[in-house]
Chains A and B, each alone.
Chain A
Amino acid sequence: MRTINILFALAAMLALTSCSAQIKHAQTTTVRIDGDCPMCEKTIEKAAYVKGEAEADWDVDAKTARITFDSTRTTLDAVLQRIAHAGYDSERYLAPDAVYAALPGCCQYERTFKQKPMTTPGAVVDHGGHDHGHDAPATDAPQATGEALAPVFEAYFALKDALVTSDAKKAAAQAAVLSAAVKAVPMEGMEADLHAVWMRVMELLANTSAGIASKPKLEEQRKAFAELTEPMLALVKARPGSAPIYLDHCPMYEGGSDWLSRDKAIRNPFYGAQMMSCGSVKETIAK
């Protein structure tokens, strides 16, 4: 009996230690790879691993990886490229932004290798000789005292967009943001007419958005979202911005429902991809 146990133990040890095929012509280098947690370690090592060709051992504290590869079959570059495609920056390759953004929250490490862009990506750089140092960022939020409401509008539109893409998780998160933004609006210094509207809609907005945040089901979120339109519309009419806001109407949802949008194109938050363009612009509110 005992010998069998010893044999089993030996076999198990052998199996554990010789799990990877031997890498011939091995070259080993240590490189710094950004990452945050043991889950990152798994992803990095899995991305680097090619049987008999390459493997990596990443240390979560030192944020370095010991990479061993067969120099006749592959290169360090190829291994680092694979790791970057899995979401992890090194000194040679930066992970694609979309892949990084899709990493689980705990894995979204600080991107120390990435340079800050000189200008907003995609914007036309105007070298007309002006001093751009003190330019204020453009905003299409309502002017003057209406600025206090800007975070509320931002959150509403973000919630709407999340429902358009049928992303329940994101919708819940944005709804929480909206609820917090409503509660954070400072009422001192608010002009009288706006104050009156705000007093009327404030509680409804806060409660409904908190309700959406607590509902995991897309269908329930959408139903509650429809109730936000009326109070939001009142705010928009009280403080129209320079950029137009469109009041859209979908005849099919719950016998007919409205929502607000900053884009003229119809993108339906009640049905998402199922009936994306169902709806029409009922009204355009602008200064």
Chain B
Amino acid sequence: MNAFRMIRLVIHLLVLLILLAGRVMAQTAHPALGTSRLQGGFTPQVTRYDLVITDTLVNYTGKERKAYAVNGSIPMPTLTFTEGDTAMIVVRNAMAKEETSLHWHGLILPYPLDGVPYLTTAPIKAGETQVYKFPLVQSGTYWYHSHTGLQEQNGMHGALIIHKREAPAMPEHVVILSEWTDMKPKEVHRRLHAANDWSAIKKHRIRPGTVQSYSDAIGQRALGVKLTNEWKRMNAMDVSDVYYDLLLANGRPVDEAPQLKAGDRVRVRLINGGASSYFWITYAGGKMTVVASDGMDVEPVEVDRFIMGVAETYDIIVTIPADSTAYELLATSEDRVRSTSVWLGSGIRQLAAPLQPLKYFEGMKMMNDMMRMNGDLDDMGMHMSLQQMDMNVVMYPEITGEEKRRGENVKKGGKAGHEGMDHGNMYNSNTLSDIVTLNYAMLRSPAPTALPPGPMKELKFTLTGNMNRYLWAIDNKTVSETDRILIRKGENVRIILYNNSMMRHPMHLHGHFFRVVNGQGDHAPLKNVLDIMPMETDTIEFAATEEGDWFFHCHILYHMMSGMGRVFTNPTDEPNPVLPDPAKAWKHFLREDKAWHGMAMSDFATNGIDGEAMLMNKRWALQAEWRLGYTAMHGQEVEAHFGRYFGKMQWWFPNVGIDWRTREEHDEDREENLFGQRNTKNSRSVAHIGFQYTLPMLLVLDARIDTDGRLRTQLMRHDIPLTPRLRLDLMGNSDYEYMAGLRYVLDKTWALRTHYDSDMGWGVGLTLTY
């Protein structure tokens, strides 16, 4: 071989070597994590897990229910890896008909493996197997769950732990928290959209006062607060939307780690694998030291308690103080209705102090002060952020004192005399009591996390939503109502989030960690889920290093399904290999928040059958009402209308419809309606156009004009909560028709009802609710 060829060969080899070295280095110093984490000098292994997803039957409450199991277990088995190795997860869908998916929460990986069906990954159809193989470029506590429909609620959640290569030897215990409801998740979802408060009644049996009815208000000397609340068109305050029959730790009502001994320091890896619950964590054996959040290390901070948003993970170090004693690590749901425990150690069980029930009317009074008539929230100049101020603190007896008894009034109007005062500490639980509560401002990354230099794309998102129609969105637009947001490699993205809704939301970004800008400068902590409370403004930022489509959404399952999210698209060089028809896949992905929900209610009474039904999606609704008498004298009436909701609070509902009624001639009836037009109650077959509007006190004004030229205005309100189970329905209109009904709720389907109808007279009956 001559010299030139030799030199060319050497150059080629060198280039090859450099390229290879570059790839290896890229694997060890991942730009998305900001710092180089690994040194060389080890051989990456492939760790393989085989997962088989099946339908199964479970029994947590004495009733058998359908759920999803993986390899026969709920939650799904814990997957354990070591940083730097390669994960290979072989997933087989062994169900008969359902498709499924698995999302690896918090992991940085190539986007086709992210597991969001129709957005990044193909769904795993029944009978299919998919292989997920990717390098592990990080360490920490993560988890994985289905991203299809509501499967996450019923068992498809599990822990995913990645150990550091040189991890200090310390006993560990992994705890994935979750919830169980005997009600089918689809029904839970439907009832949320129908604003059916059966779950509040169920909670009321355990924690009286949850319904916040008028009788509860009178008992708390808070009638004025309740009236003001309804004047501002608010429904009862819901701290958690859903009623759960039990809470679970590692799939059990009570979990144990009996192998721990006195004097042991143990690292507990906590994961909130729930679909909609926040958990307060407290420990009977003293303080907890928080050392990691969402998988990323933080400088140790000692606390008495902290709250875990849906999908967050926290690593804590606790000690076992005494011999022959098991200490309770207590996880209580935010609404304080239920809890689950992990016993660390073995022996006599040392209980942790339970969290006392919430003072709902204090919370209601606080909401009254914060809510303007137009539905906007007013933070009274407090500029809240990073969980430092918890407005709900007014409801916590352990911070602000016991519930007021009869004879002590719930204080009205918090503003008088406080002009110029620093409101800041009214709601800061760390200044109001000795209990140290973690907040995001206390988290600090041990290594600097500053973003690489580059142009900054700044976005402002306002979280919006309301319970009445269960529409949760960003800037009042759901995922399907907006375009994807384009971001580019080399760019940094900053999102300023403002929560203009009454609930807190855990916002999750796929495929990246973001810095939580919290005053720690270059050491801002890295997270992938941010809990943002009502009226808070938080800033998060990340480098757009990952190509692909990345979902950014509220991790409360039912909010995500209602469209609370956005998609970031970082253009890829090649099309997604697993989604061959991108346009079709995108359309399918957007279907979720366009879903229609139905509800129906019918009273079978002695004087006729009265009912209503509704088919609605996030903006449109088809409503029908019927009043069917048994005799020709009473007659029958049916009306239906179709319309759209407008406005941030969705109080406006213009609609068109039809109205049909017939009955025998009534002599004693009025000849004219309120507007002096001839009464057509005996025979009517018309179309009409009009609107509905929600007034203060939640009265619905219905105004319409029909094709006979007649006007009708009506005021009505259904489901006024006199007591937790006793509900009042009222209606009156310009045709001089009126109705008053009293309904006693027996269970989620049945209620007893008595009512008087100006056309049909008195009646008693049974109401069926779907």
Compute how far the CA of A252 lies from the CA of B626 in the bound complex, rounded to whole angstroms.
66
B168 to chain A, nearest CB (A): 13
Minimal beta-carbon separation of B338 from chain A (angstroms): 14
Taking CB atoms, residues of chain A closer than 8 Å to B319 are: 119, 121-123, 125
Q: Check B348 against A93 for contact (C-beta < 8 Å).
A: yes
Within 8 A of B (CB), among A243-287: 265, 267, 273, 275-278
- Contact code string A99-124 (vs B, CB < 8 Å = 1, else 0): 10000000000000111111101111
Q: Say yes or no for B482: interface residue by CB 8 A criterion.
A: no
Residues of A within 8 A of B (CB): 81, 84-85, 91-99, 113-119, 121-125, 165, 265, 267, 273, 275-278
Please measure, in the bound complex, the distance between the C-alpha atom of A119 and the C-alpha atom of B264, giving whole angstroms. 11
Contact of B263 among A85, A96, A125, A273 (CB under 8 A): A125
Contact A121 B286, beta carbon cutoff 8 Å? yes
Interface residues in B254-290 by Cβ distance below 8 A to A read: 262-263, 265, 284-287
Are A278 and B422 touching (Cβ within 8 A)?
yes
- Cβ of B325 under 8 Å from chain A: yes
28 chain-A/chain-B pairs, Cβ below 8 angstroms: A85-B354, A92-B349, A93-B349, A94-B325, A94-B349, A96-B350, A96-B353, A114-B322, A114-B325, A115-B324, A115-B347, A116-B322, A118-B262, A118-B263, A118-B322, A119-B263, A119-B321, A121-B285, A121-B319, A122-B302, A122-B319, A125-B263, A125-B265, A267-B431, A275-B421, A276-B425, A277-B425, A278-B422
List chain A residues, Cβ under 8 A from B425: 275-277
Q: What residues of chain B have their CB less than 8 Å away from a CB belonging to chain A?
A: 262-263, 265, 284-287, 302, 319, 321-325, 347-354, 400, 421-422, 424-425, 431-434
Q: How far is the CB of B332 from chain A (nearest CB, A)?
A: 13
Residues of B within 8 A of A96 (CB): 284, 350-354
CB-CB nearest in chain B for A125:
B263
User: Contacts of A99 on B, CB cut-off 8 Å?
Assistant: 353
Question: Which residues of B have CB within 8 Å of A85?
Answer: 351, 354
Chain B residue at minimum C-beta to C-beta distance from A265: B431
Contact status B287-A122, CB under 8 Å: yes
A97 with B349: CB separation less than 8 A = no
Shortest 5 CB-CB contacts between residues of A and residues of B = A121-B286, A96-B353, A117-B321, A115-B322, A122-B286
The answer to whether A91 and B348 touch across the interface, beta carbons within 8 angstroms, is: yes
Minimum CB–CB distance for B108 against chain A, Å: 33
Alpha-carbon separation in the docked complex, A92 to B322 (Å)? 15
**A277-B263 in contact (CB<8A):** no
* Interchain CA distance A116-B324 in the complex, whole Å: 10
Q: How many residue-residue contacts, CB under 8 A, span A and B?
A: 80
A93-B351, A98-B353, A121-B321 given; name 14 further pairs at CB < 8 Å.
A85-B354, A92-B348, A93-B348, A94-B325, A113-B348, A115-B322, A115-B324, A115-B348, A117-B322, A118-B322, A121-B285, A121-B286, A276-B431, A277-B431
The main secondary structure of chain A at its interface with chain B is loop
Q: How far is the CB of A119 from chain B (nearest CB, A)?
A: 7
A214 to chain B, nearest CB (A): 26
Q: By CB atoms of chain B within 10 A, which of A99, A118, A275 has the most?
A: A118
| Minimum CB–CB distance for B622 against chain A, Å | 47
* B432 near A273: Cβ-Cβ < 8 Å: yes
Set B323, B348, B431, B433: member contacting A94, Cβ < 8 A: B348
Query: A101: nearest residue on chain B (CB-CB)?
Result: B353
| Contact assessment for A277 and B422 in the assembled complex, using a CB-CB cutoff below 8 Å | yes
Bound Cα distance from A102 to B263, whole angstroms: 28
Contacts of B302 in A (CB 8 A): 122
Q: Contact at B432–A81, with CB atoms within 8 Å? A: no
In the complex, how many angstroms separate the beta carbon of A271 from the nearest chain B beta carbon?
Answer: 10
**In the complex, which residues of chain A have a beta carbon less than 8 angstroms from the beta carbon of B349?**
92-94
User: Which of chain B's residues have a CB closer than 8 A to the CB of A278?
Assistant: 422
In angstroms, Cα B348 to Cα A93, docked, is 6
Please report the C-alpha to C-alpha distance between residue A227 and residue B352 in the assembled complex, in whole angstroms.
40
Q: Which of A91, A117, A278 has the most CB of B within 10 A?
A: A117
Once the chains are docked, how many angstroms separate the CA of A113 from the CA of B326?
A: 13
If A115-B324, A125-B263 touch, whether A84 touches B432 (CB-CB below 8 Å) is no
Q: How far is the CA of A44 from the CA of B96 in the complex (A)?
A: 53
- CA–CA, A190 and B325, complex, Å: 47
> Which residues of the other chain, A, contact B325 by a CB distance below 8 angstroms?
94, 114-115
A residues in contact with B286, CB < 8 Å:
121-122
B348 contacts which chain A residues (CB < 8 A)?
91-94, 113-115
Given A115-B325, A267-B431, A276-B432, A95 and B351 contact (CB-CB distance below 8 Å): yes
Contacts of B322 in A (CB 8 A): 114-118
Residues of A with C-beta under 8 A to B431: 265, 267, 276-277
Give chain B residues whose Cβ lies under 8 Å from the Cβ of A121: 285-287, 319, 321
Bound-state Cα–Cα, A116 to B284, Å: 14
Shortest CB distance B205–A (Å): 14
Could you tell me the distance between the alpha carbons of A99 and B328 in the complex, rounded to whole angstroms? Answer: 15
B419 to chain A, nearest CB (A): 13
Please measure, in the bound complex, the distance between the C-alpha atom of A125 and the C-alpha atom of B349, giving whole angstroms: 22
- Bound complex: CA of A118 vs CA of B262, how far in Å? 7
Minimum distance in angstroms from B287 CB to a CB of chain A: 4
Residues in B whose Cβ lies below 8 Å from that of A123:
319
In Å, the complex CA distance between A277 and B389 comes to 14
Nearest residue (CB) in B for A123 is B319
- The chain B residue sitting closest to A121, CB to CB, is B286
List residues of chain A with CB within 8 A of the CB of B424. Answer: 277
Who on chain A is nearest to B265 by CB? Answer: A125
Of chain B, the residue at the smallest CB distance from A117 is B321
Nearest-CB residue, chain A, relative to B263: A118
Expressed in whole angstroms, the Cα–Cα distance for A116 and B263 within the complex equals 12
Q: Within 8 Å CB of B347, what residues of A?
A: 115
Contacts of A113 in B (CB 8 A): 348
> Which residue on A lies nearest to B284, using beta carbons?
A96
A118 touches which of B287, B323, B400 (Cβ 8 Å): B323
B contact residues around A276 at 8 Å (CB): 425, 431-432
Output the nearest chain B residue to A275 by Cβ-Cβ distance: B421
In Å, the complex CA distance between A276 and B302 comes to: 22
How far, in whole Å, are A95 and B348 apart by their CA atoms in the complex? 11
A205 to B307, CA, bound (A): 44
Tell me how far the C-beta of A75 lies from the nearest C-beta in chain B, rounded to whole angstroms: 12
Cα separation A114 to B285 with both chains bound (whole Å): 12
Cβ A84 vs Cβ B321 within 8 A: no
- State A95–B347 Cα separation when bound (angstroms): 14
> What separation, in Å, do the CA atoms of A273 and B418 have in the docked complex?
13
Complex interface: chain B residues within 8 A of A91 (CB): 348
> In the complex, which residue of chain B has the Cβ closest to the Cβ of A99?
B353
With a cutoff of 8 Å between Cβ atoms, the chain B residues found around residue A273 in the complex are 400, 432
**Contacts A115-B325, A119-B321 given; does A84 touch B422 at CB 8 Å:** no
CB distance from A147 to the nearest CB of B (A): 27
**A115, B323: Cβ atoms closer than 8 Å:** yes
Q: Least Cβ distance of B40 to chain A in Å?
A: 33
A129 to B324, CA, bound (A): 24
Measured in the bound complex, the distance between the Cα atoms of B286 and A275 in whole Å is 29
Chain B residues whose CB sits within 8 angstroms of the CB of A265 once the complex forms: 431
Nearest chain A residue, comparing its CB with the CB of B321: A117
Taken together as a complex, chains A and B put the C-alpha atoms of A123 and B321 apart, in Å, by: 9
CB distance from A76 to the nearest CB of B (A): 13
> How far is A84 from B349 in the complex, measured between Cα atoms in Å?
10
Q: How far is the CB of A149 from chain B (nearest CB, A)?
A: 25
**Complex alpha-carbon distance, A6 and B303, angstroms:** 66
CA distance A276 to B432 in the complex (A): 7
CA distance A265 to B432 in the complex (A): 12
Q: Which chain A residue has the least Cβ–Cβ distance from B330?
A: A96
- Which residue of A has the minimal Cβ distance to B304? A122
Note all chain B residues with C-beta closer than 8 A to A94. 325, 348-351
User: Chain A contacts of B262 at CB under 8 A?
Assistant: 118
A118 to B323, CA, bound (A): 7
Given A91-B348, A125-B263; A97-B321 close (CB under 8 Å)? no
Report yes or no: B265 in contact with A97, Cβ–Cβ below 8 A: no
A117 and B183 alpha carbons, distance in the complex (Å): 44
Among A81, A117, A118, A267, the residue within 8 A (CB) of B351 is A81
User: Most B CB atoms within 10 A — which of A119, A165, A273?
Assistant: A273
**Which of chain A's residues have a CB closer than 8 A to the CB of B285?**
121
- In the complex, residue of chain A having the shortest beta-carbon distance to the beta carbon of B328: A96
